[in-house]
Amino acid sequence: MDWNPSAFLPLIVGMPLLGGIINGLFGKRFSRQMVYFIANTAVLTSFLLAVMGFFALRQATVANPDAAFRTELFHWIAAGNYSFDMAFLLDPLSSVMIMVVTGVGFLVHLYSTTYMHEDPGYARYFAYLNLFIFSMLMLVLGKNLAMLFIGWEGVGACSYLLIGFWFKDMDKAEAGQKAFVVNRIGDIGFVVAIFLLLAYGNGSVDYDNLKMLFSDQVHTLAHAPTITLICLLLFVGAAGKSAQIPLYVWLPDAMAGPTPVSALIHAATMVTAGVYMIARLNFLFALSPHAMTVVMMVGALTAVMAASIGLVQNDIKKVLAYSTVSQLGYMFIAVGAGAFAAGVFHLFTHAFFKACLFLGAGAVIHAMHHEQDIRNMGGLRKKLPKVHATFLIACIAIAGLPPLAGFFSKDAILAETLAFHPETEKLEKYFEPGFERQAEAQVATEALSKGKTLGDIDKKDIDKKSAELKKDYIESIHGLGLFRKIAFGLGLMAALMTAFYMFRLYFMTFTGEYRGDKHTWDHAHDSPWPMASALIILAFLSVVGGWLGMPFHHGEWNKFFLWLEPVLSRGKELVHGHLEPAMEYGLMAGSTLVAALGVGLAWALYNGGTSDKAPQIAKASGPIYGLLLNKYWVDELYFAAIIKPLRAVSQLLFQLVDRFLVDALMVRGPGLILLGLSNVGRVVQNGEVQAYLVGLIVGVAALAWYFI
């Protein structure tokens, strides 16, 4: 197969853009079927081209493992030393991402043709969906950080439009605003990091150039604090987009949008952007173990916190929303631990079972006439057999039970979090030139400060200082190993809670007797074929998707990890170790038992839909249950500590600056002065001859008095 996909990379990105423009401009004049055809065809074409590109790249890597396809369209910005190209890159990492984005995106589009059929804004909806896919493809196919940032901001804008799609409802409009504002907070860190990289990289943020730049051990070790700062700022941006503590609060409120939107945002697109960005820049993050430890621990804390909130939620979409936040925390545990391939693997499998769960929840809501409270459900497996079967498969997958997809990816993360055996000799050899250069600089500085000359420096002093620097660095690396054990424990705890709350959701929704309105039950029906086919495909992928990552040890069978190896190898080189196969399989067995325990607890408490034990446990837990039910009062805390004071200051500035200084003094003030002067003139110029004569006499008298 000699097909070269380089020329078609712009087409992969451009087809959804074209569909979005056509439906956005002319969709109101088209029939529903025409709108559906344009939107679905655009994304399906991108998906087929993405698959063809994957197979072409796969063939190319047989001869050259580092093969990649690049397309440079034109120089976008060129100013002095700074330059940005409009260019695309198809390598193993981006090939996986574009297939996930377009594949799951097409299923969401197909599902939406039924779900949104009665909505009068269907053309606007599908235009937004197409633009969302376009933005995400720009993000993952861009060859530099500038193009990634275009897509980054594009998905942010589209998420605002889609979350607040029903903008006449003020709550939904505010949810869209919240997502937009919180993401902008994270983007501040991201933008500053890009500026620092521009300065550091002599005006280029091209991935190839950055990878080459940061391969210089002497240069990078000398700038270690700057690299750590850049990594932490990049993580601030990732935390906003991928909903990590403390910027996760927008994601649960994103449920205000149509359910297919929730599936698209939560499963395969926007929320995975932060994970993708760190994996893409693995060669940079690997140079800052301290920054990676921060990433790992924030991910672990997010995973546990979100999972604990999900234990008690009663809105079917809110349970899944906090589940997404928790699973994203898992991905950050992986990339923070240096297991970049495991993090991308969980991103890959999570796209399937989480999209299946959200679309299944949408089918339930659709059948239940927009009822979302699981306390008013039950027994729906009788009415919705197809939805029930696919939802159960996705629940098993996300719980981490074998042999479904989540089992492989989640346990890969847990195992590789412990795979930390720093090879001291390799680290010393790798950074040896950097330690010597730093030692020379420090010894020279000390000598000059004491009034000595550079000729007075003894080589032994440099060697001694180099040995001290080397020892301090190695000790700091070994000291971070404790945090990996903590992250592993938190990840295992999150896995237990995930299995429990997902099967609590399943049992309360599909088993036992129906607890809601009889009229709703009588009119409930299973999903039509566009919705059902999307669910069946995603359920199938939730079963087989994880088989690409078996077994866990890095042997010939682990096709997924081997495929990503050329892109992630440098990042993995310094921060990633290996476990013995026996230990890995032991961890697999242990995590399976933990997941089974969570399912068993859910079965004991909620099998049949309701239980007397659950309210008793909630009552016995006292304030803990209230803490979880109220989501740790984080939103209330943010409102009291940040939003309310900012609104007060804004109102003060509005009254003082805008109304008084600008409106009153600068705008209305001159007009009022002129109006007053004109009133004085109007008294004199009244059209009466007698008044003019008096004025003339007074004026002449005044002049005479002045001169005499």
Q: Which of 65-79, 380-394, 685-699 has the highest mean pLDDT?
A: 380-394
Q: Does an H or E element contain 219, and which?
A: helix 217-222
The set of residues, in sequence order, having a beta carbon less than 8 Å from that of 525 and lying 6+ positions away, is 367, 383, 384
Which pLDDT score, from 0 to 100, does residue 15 have? 95
Would you say 172 and 153 are in contact if contact means Cβ atoms under 8 Å apart?
no
Contact 502, 323 (CB under 8 A): yes
pLDDT tens per residue, range 3-26: 667 888 999 999 999 999 999 999
CB 279 within 8 A of CB 566: no
Q: Where are the domains of the chain?
A: 1-143, 642-707
Average per-residue pLDDT in the chain?
85
Question: For the chain, what percent of residues have pLDDT higher than 90?
Answer: 42
472: tokens are 């301090």
Q: Which residue, among 82, 95, 343, has the nearest Cα to 209 in the 3D structure? A: 82
Residues facing residue 508 across a β-bridge:
none
pLDDT of residue 431: 56
Q: Which element (helix H / strand E) includes 86?
A: strand 82-90
- For 239, 519, 606, the CA distances from 157, given in Å and listed in that order, are 17, 39, 40
What is the pLDDT at residue 1? 44
| pLDDT at residue 599 tops 90 | yes
Q: What pLDDT does residue 467 have? A: 73
Q: Are 296 and 320 in contact (CB under 8 A)?
A: no
With cut-offs at 50, 70 and 90, classify the pLDDT of residue 583: confident
Distances (CA, A) of 423 to 224, 369, 504, 576, 579: 20, 59, 44, 9, 13
Using the predicted structure, report yes or no on whether residue 220 has a pLDDT greater than 80: no
At residue 554, the pLDDT reads: 47
What the block records as the tokens of 49 is 């081209």
Residue 51: Cβ-neighbour burial (10 angstroms; 0-12, 13-18, 19+): middle
Q: What angle do CA 575, 579, 581 make, to 5 degrees?
A: 150
Q: Which residue has the tokens 């929840």?
A: 361
Distances (CA, A) of 670 to 197, 267, 555, 579, 665: 49, 58, 80, 78, 7
Taking only the tens place, the pLDDT of each residue in 347-366 is: 999 999 999 999 999 999 98
Would you give the DSSP letter of residue 580? -
Are 133 and 148 contacting, i.e. CB atoms less than 8 angstroms apart?
Answer: no
The DSSP call for residue 81 is T
pLDDT given at position 418: 80
In 3D space, the residue among 348, 498, 334, 496 whose CA is nearest the CA of residue 417 turns out to be 334
The rounded distance, in Å, linking the Cα atoms of 114 and 125 is 13
Q: Residue 1 burial (CB < 10 Å; 0-12/13-18/19+)?
A: exposed
Side-chain half-sphere exposure of 52, counting CA atoms within 13 A: 17
Looking at this protein, which amino acid is placed at residue 218? V
Report how far apart the first and last C-alpha atoms of the chain are (Å, whole number). 110
Closest CA to 54 of 85, 8, 19: 8
For 505, phi and psi rounded to 5 degrees?
A: -60, -45
> What long-range pairs does 693-696 form, CB within 8 A, spacing at least 24?
none
Sorting pLDDT into bands at 50, 70 and 90, what band is 52?
A: very high
Residue 131: closest CA among 236, 36, 271, 18: 18
CB 158 within 8 A of CB 210: no
For β-strands 82-90 and 69-79, DSSP reports them as antiparallel
Instruction: Check if the beta carbon of residue 484 is closer than 8 Å to that of residue 419.
Output: no
Q: Is residue 423 scored above 60 in pLDDT? A: no
Which residues is 495 bridged to in the sheet? Answer: none
Contact 340, 568 (CB under 8 A): yes
pLDDT in tens, 531-550: 899 999 999 999 998 888 76
Of residues 67 and 301, the one with the higher pLDDT is 301
| pLDDT on residue 217 | 58
Lowest mean pLDDT among 125-139, 481-495, 612-626: 612-626
Q: 233 or 522: whose pLDDT is higher?
A: 233
C-alpha dihedral over 424, 429, 430, 431, to 10 degrees?
A: 90
Q: State how far the Cα of 597 lies from the Cα of 595, in Å rounded to an integer.
A: 5
- Helices assigned H by DSSP within 311-404: 316-336, 340-367, 385-399
Q: How far is CA 444 from CA 26, 434, 487, 576, 593, in A?
A: 70, 15, 42, 35, 59
Between 464 and 528, the more confident residue is: 528
Q: pLDDT higher for 493 or 474? A: 493
Cβ neighbours around 169 below 10 Å, total: 12
Least confident stretch, 37-41, 259-263, 462-466, 501-505: 462-466
CA distance 294 to 303: 14
Q: How far is Cα 426 from Cα 573, in angstroms, rounded to an integer?
A: 9
Q: Which of 84, 189, 200, 230 is nearest to 147 (CA)?
A: 84
pLDDT tens-place string over residues 640-688: 998 899 889 988 888 888 887 887 777 777 887 888 878 777 776 777 7
Phi, psi for 85 (deg, rounded to 5): -105, 145
Phi-psi domain of 335 (left: phi exceeds 0; alpha: psi -120 through 50; beta: other): alpha
682/687 Cα distance (integer angstroms)? 10
Residue 574 has pLDDT above 60, yes or no: no
Summarised one tens digit per residue, pLDDT across range 78-105 is: 777 777 888 999 999 999 999 999 999 9
Buried b (16+ CB within 10 A) or exposed e, 116-144: beeeebbbbbbbbbbbbbbbbbbbbbbbb
**For 586-610, what is the mean pLDDT?**
88
Q: What is the pLDDT of residues 233-289, one digit of tens each?
A: 999 999 999 989 999 999 988 888 888 888 888 777 788 899 999 999 998 888 888
Contacts by 439-447, CB closer than 8 A, 24 or more apart: 439/463, 439/465, 439/466, 439/468, 439/469, 441/222
When mean pLDDT is compared across 164-173, 199-208, 423-432, the lowest value belongs to 423-432
Question: How far is it, in rounded angstroms, from Cα 404 to Cα 195?
Answer: 43
Distance in angstroms (rounded) separating the CA atoms of residues 105 and 96: 14
